[in-house]
């Protein structure tokens, strides 16, 4: 799934994204990737006090929800924010809570 910011997310898409964001470590990963505004590989593990396997599991959940992208570069996968999907998520949440 790769919705653009102008795309309306389905209820299933939105639920999948909420589920992916429903863990404090995943929120911190999103915040970090958004703040640095670039793709990073192995540094994610050194930034968070979590094991490699735990970080990998969180990254997989975020990637499966479409919130981040993972691009293979040699033996590593580099991760960055999927801005289009994050914008679509933001728009959907704003519509959901709007009076």
Which CATH number fits the domain that encloses residue 20? 1.10.10.10
Q: Where are the alpha helices (DSSP H) in 7-82?
A: 11-20, 24-36, 43-47, 52-64
Contact 67, 21 (CB under 8 A): yes
The structural domain count of the chain equals 1
Q: Tell me whether residue 73 is exposed, middle or buried, using C-beta atoms within 10 angstroms of its C-beta: 0 to 12, 13 to 18, 19 or more.
A: exposed
* 52-64 and 11-20 helices, crossing angle to 10°: 160
- For the entire predicted model, the pTM comes to 0.84
Q: Report the chain's terminal Cα–Cα distance, integer Å.
A: 29
Question: pLDDT at position 76, please?
Answer: 82
Question: pLDDT at position 66, please?
Answer: 95
Question: pLDDT at position 3, please?
Answer: 47
pLDDT tens-place values along the chain, 99 residues long: 444 434 678 999 999 999 999 999 999 999 999 998 888 877 888 888 888 889 989 999 999 999 999 888 888 888 999 999 999 999 999 998 986
Tokens of 8: 């309306």
**Does residue 4 fall inside a structural domain?**
no
**Does residue 1 fall inside a structural domain?**
no
Question: pLDDT at position 73, please?
Answer: 81
Residues spanned by the domain of 52: 11-91
């Amino acid at each position: 799934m790769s919705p653009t910011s102008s795309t309306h997310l389905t209820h299933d898409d939105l639920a999948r994204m909420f589920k992916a964001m429903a863990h404090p470590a995943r929120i911190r990963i999103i915040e970090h990737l958004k703040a640095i505004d670039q793709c990073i590989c192995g540094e994610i593990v050194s930034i968070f006090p979590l094991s490699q396997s735990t970080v990998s599991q969180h990254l997989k959940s975020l990637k499966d929800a479409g919130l981040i992208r993972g691009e293979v570069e040699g033996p590593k996968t580099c991760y960055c924010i999927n801005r289009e999907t994050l914008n679509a998520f933001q728009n959907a949440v704003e519509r959901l809570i709007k009076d």
